[in-house]
Amino acid sequence: MLPDRLERLIELLSRLPGVGEKTAQRFAMFFVTESQEYARELGLALQELGATVKRCQRCGNIAQVGEDGRALCPVCLDPRRDGKLLCIVARVQDLLAIEKSASMRGRYFVLGRLLSPLDGVGPDELPLEDLFRIVAEDAVKEVILATPPSVDGEATALLLARELAGKGLQVSRIASGVPHGGDLEFADQITLGRAIDGRRSMDGKRS
Ligand SMILES: [Zn+2]
């Protein structure tokens, strides 16, 4: 029924989080029938985004590509940050939520994914080599595990605690207060600040 290019656009849009096939179709029709100028601007913005905004090559946060071609985020570029303190999060959104709570004076590492035995995601799929490299480069002393309080988040925290405590690091886990199964992103700033201040030590042994 629809031109190939339009079908393709609908397929691409339907992959966006929270967008189903119907909404994707509505968006696509909007571009075609209401505002081709808007569609051009959006296309350009997306194209430029790919060239100028990348994942931070050190921590995985969002970063603007510098004139030297390096992608380092504002946190990694900030010399006032304590490089000895590293906060490990699952997603960039969690990093942003913690930054908003202004309770973190160290730097971050974004895992990008969590252990999920049920979905077949094992330790080999986590960026542990990159993490250990950062820990060594920055001579990190303390690690705060701020993975979400879900089953996968806890399993990941346990694995990381074992690995990092084995390297002689002080490891702690953010305190409860963030609802179980909840996303850090949706916790309010005060709760998140308290969860970080009230972190518990993890010795890395399975309890
Ligand atoms: Zn960074």
Domain boundaries, the chain: 4-51, 80-201
Tens of pLDDT, residues 188-203: 776 777 777 778 787 6
What spacing in Å lies between the alpha carbon of 163 and ligand 1's midpoint?
Answer: 22
Q: Which two tokens stand for residue 90?
A: 């699952």
Close Cβ partners of 135 (under 8 Å, ≥ 6 residues apart) = 86, 143, 164, 167, 169
Sites in the chain below the pLDDT cut of 70: 176-187, 190, 203-207
Tens of pLDDT, residues 56-87: 999 999 999 988 989 999 999 999 999 999 99
Top CATH class of 4-51 equals mainly alpha
Tell me if 4-51 shares its fold with 80-201: no
Q: Residue 206: its pLDDT value, please?
A: 43
What spacing in Å lies between the alpha carbon of 21 and ligand 1's midpoint?
Answer: 35
Q: Residue 207: its pLDDT value, please?
A: 39
Helix (H) or strand (E) holding 163: helix 151-165
Helix (H) or strand (E) holding 144: strand 142-145
What spacing in Å lies between the alpha carbon of 82 and ligand 1's midpoint?
Answer: 13
User: Strand 200-201 vs strand 62-64: parallel, antiparallel, or unpaired?
Assistant: unpaired
What spacing in Å lies between the alpha carbon of 110 and ligand 1's midpoint?
Answer: 9
What spacing in Å lies between the alpha carbon of 89 and ligand 1's midpoint?
Answer: 12
Report the CATH architecture of 80-201. Answer: 3-Layer(aba) Sandwich (3.40)
What spacing in Å lies between the alpha carbon of 177 and ligand 1's midpoint?
Answer: 27
Instruction: Collect contacts of 193-198 with beta carbons under 8 A, ≥24 apart.
Output: 193/101, 193/102, 193/103, 195/146, 196/87, 196/98, 196/101, 196/103, 196/104, 196/144, 196/146, 197/103, 198/174
pTM of the model: 0.77
Q: Residue 103: its pLDDT value, please?
A: 84
Residue 161 CA to residue 205 CA, distance in Å, equals: 8
